[in-house]
Amino acid sequence: MAYNDLSWSPSEKKAARAAFDKALEVALASTIAEFKRKADAAATPADLWEIEEYLGQRRRKIDRMFDYRYSQLPEVFASLIRAEYLDENLLSGLSQEKREMIHRFATWKPRG
Amino acid sequence: MAYNDLSWSPSEKKAARAAFDKALEVALASTIAEFKRKADAAATPADLWEIEEYLGQRRRKIDRMFDYRYSQLPEVFASLIRAEYLDENLLSGLSQEKREMIHRFATWKPRG
């Protein structure tokens, strides 16, 4: 079965939404913490423009990663696990089929 | 005489460069100080994106204001005085004609 043909039960949707929101919270909190470190250390105009660039990159990356479409969620969850924004255990409310699929995506490595 | 036809003696060029560099230093220092205040107060993702926007605006505004072409300098100095980045006394090395012109630009007010 193609991952974008999966059906999501109401309870799975609820579990998915909670995991997604939690991962977003983690990603944003880590961005704020990193920003604060950079801002504290900033001393020159060049440091400021580098922080501007950093914030733009983070904003675009978070926009891109956090795509809540059911057709995309298995890949989205896998990328959030890889980025350490999502604890895989938070997906226990999903079917075994979905969890195995996400785990496979998250741990997939291209042949060297 | 049109202000962009003025001639600049070597000593005036030196005085203009020093005043320009000092104003740039003031503008950048004020940007860093304001950024530090905003960064200290930042608590939410929205605060971060507002700071990103603030930095971009400041960077573009400084790029636009600090235009070191002799044809533009009287207007540039006038706008730097208005923005309080430049102390008019730093222009004492310029001819009286230039200083009067810059003062007129700096204090010009449109009719209400």
Complex prediction ipTM:
0.85
Nearest chain B CA: its distance from A39 CA (Å) = 6
> B31 with B66: CB under 8 angstroms?
no
> Nearest residue of B to residue A37 by CA position?
B39
Structure tokens at B96: 């009286």
DSSP B15: H
pLDDT in tens, B67-88: 999 999 999 999 999 999 999 9
From A32, A44, A59, residue closest to B52, measured CB to CB? A59
Query: Which DSSP letter does residue B71 get?
Result: T
Q: What pTM was estimated for this model as a whole?
A: 0.86
Residue whose tokens read 């997604």? A20
Q: What percent of chain B has pLDDT over 70?
A: 96
What is the rounded average pLDDT for all residues in chain B?
Answer: 94
For residue B28, list chain A residues with Cβ-Cβ distance below 8 A.
Answer: 45
What does the domain layout of chain A look like in residue ranges? 23-107
pLDDT number for residue B5: 75
